[in-house]
Amino acid sequence: MARLKFMAAALATCAPLFALPASAQVNLAGRTVNVIVAGGVGGGVDLYMRLLLPHLRQNLPGQPIMVVQNMPGGGGLQGVQHVYNLGAADGTSIGVTPAGPIKEPVMGGGRVNYDLRRFRWVGSMTSEDTVCLVWHTSSIKNLDDARKRDVPLSATGAASNSTLGPMLYNDLLGTRFKPISGYDGGTSMLAVERQEVDGRCTTLSSVRTGQPHWLTNNFVRILFTVSDMEETPETKGVPSLRSLLKTDADIKALDFFGAPDEMQNPVFLPPGTPDDIVQVYRAAFNKVMADPTYRAEAAARSQRLEPLTGERVTEIVEAMHNAAPEVVARVKRATTIARQQ
């Protein structure tokens, strides 16, 4: 599958998943693990994590109790900041996040109180397959229409992918997307169906898992795919964003913005979590990702799996922080208005 690649030397090859030897000293028996989901109930990241957890628990030493708490505020920033600042570094706190909070520290205003490089990354479950779509009754039939009038889109927080993405696409394509933030993952979809807005920029995986009837009944019209993903029945004949860009500078801006999307729904531990605990979580995660039973359950729920190891996620985070200043500045300029709203 052709997909966006940022800093090709660092990201061109996905590290193979392998089973790490679990540390004999780590035992979570009788412990309760607080699982912070940086998204709303019923959203894409929530659905992925809730399917993962029973399998992850079975592969952790001692099979701890795992309790989910959803923190969707700020497009997921609330949840990520909670794990960073309040999460216990003893294996009893873990988080998962959508792409927005990964992008904000590097592409945003720099006001978040966490450092991505200090998290202990366990791995990520899938990769970005974002599309921009509108409801079938919308007067927006194609991109030319989206350049002629404002197009309200439901979004989560001001720093979320669903807000920042459309602002960048406006800069690249001359569209007039107007993300309206404040929804959570589930209600942002309902807003489209209720026609409170014209549409939404979201992952195709989220639509397949949460609103499959949108696709089977042709209730939505996909304007473009954000990455050069493999054509599916839903995206047949739909242009990719990259194919619409005219300049090398535009392509570099898109690649930088899309780098975090290589690691959709990454799972992480708080800073300071000891290596032996990190090793145990990574081993459990890798084992689940290779488990035929889990993969079958994910397929049955239309959850696309393209896992990356914790080591690979760490490399992507480092690459983002070493991006060319002019590329970073371009993306920040394009998305500043969204963060000021």
Cα within 13 Å of Cα(170), Cβ side: 22
β 130-135/177-180 pair status: unpaired
CA distance 106 to 83: 19
Q: Is 251 left (phi over 0), alpha (psi -120 to 50) or beta?
A: alpha
Strand partners, 48: none
Reported as a single tens digit per residue, the pLDDT across 74-87 is 889 999 999 999 99
Reported as a single tens digit per residue, the pLDDT across 294-325 is 999 999 998 989 999 999 999 999 988 988 99
pLDDT of residue 287: 98
Pick the range with the lowest mean pLDDT from 83-87, 229-233, 245-249. 229-233
User: Mean pLDDT of all residues in the chain?
Assistant: 89
Model confidence at 186, pLDDT cuts 50, 70, 90, reads confident
β 65-70/32-37 pair status: parallel
Report yes or no: 84 and 113 within 8 Å, Cβ to Cβ. Answer: yes
Per DSSP, the residues of 219-237 read: -EEEEEESS-PPP-TTTTT
User: Which contiguous run of DSSP H or E holds residue 216?
Assistant: helix 212-216
Model confidence at 28, pLDDT cuts 50, 70, 90, reads very high
With a cut of 50, say whether residue 57 has pLDDT above it.
yes
Strand partners, 309: 123
What token pair was written down for 201? 């920029």
Give pTM, 2 decimals.
Answer: 0.73
Three-class SS state of 171: helix
Q: Is 110 left (phi over 0), alpha (psi -120 to 50) or beta?
A: left
With a cut of 60, say whether residue 341 has pLDDT above it.
no
Reported as a single tens digit per residue, the pLDDT across 105-162 is 888 765 789 999 999 999 999 987 899 999 999 999 999 999 999 999 999 877 788 8
Q: At what angle do helices 44-59 and 292-300 cross, to 10 degrees?
A: 160
Q: Are the folds of 8-127+259-340 and 130-257 the same?
A: yes
CA distance 224 to 222: 6
What token pair was written down for 304? 């696309």
With a cut of 60, say whether residue 339 has pLDDT above it.
no
What token pair was written down for 210? 């949460």
Reported as a single tens digit per residue, the pLDDT across 155-183 is 987 778 889 899 999 999 999 999 998 88
Q: Classify domain 8-127+259-340 at the CATH class level.
A: alpha beta
CA distance 210 to 76: 19
β 308-309/199-203 pair status: unpaired
What token pair was written down for 308? 């990356």
Report yes or no: 108 and 159 within 8 Å, Cβ to Cβ. Answer: yes
Report yes or no: 166 and 155 within 8 Å, Cβ to Cβ. Answer: yes
β 264-269/177-180 pair status: unpaired
Apex 37 CA angle, 32 and 43, nearest 5: 135
CA distance 141 to 145: 6
Longest dimension (CA), the chain: 63
CA distance 69 to 151: 33
Identity of the residue numbered 299:
A
Which CATH number, 3.40.120.10, 3.40.190.10, 3.30.70.890, 3.40.50.2300, labels domain 130-257?
Answer: 3.40.190.10
Strand partners, 124: 266, 308
Segments making up each domain of the chain, as ranges:
8-127+259-340, 130-257
More confident site: 22 or 226: 226
pLDDT of residue 197: 97
In the DSSP assignment, the letter for residue 257 is H
Mean pLDDT (whole number) for 260-280: 94
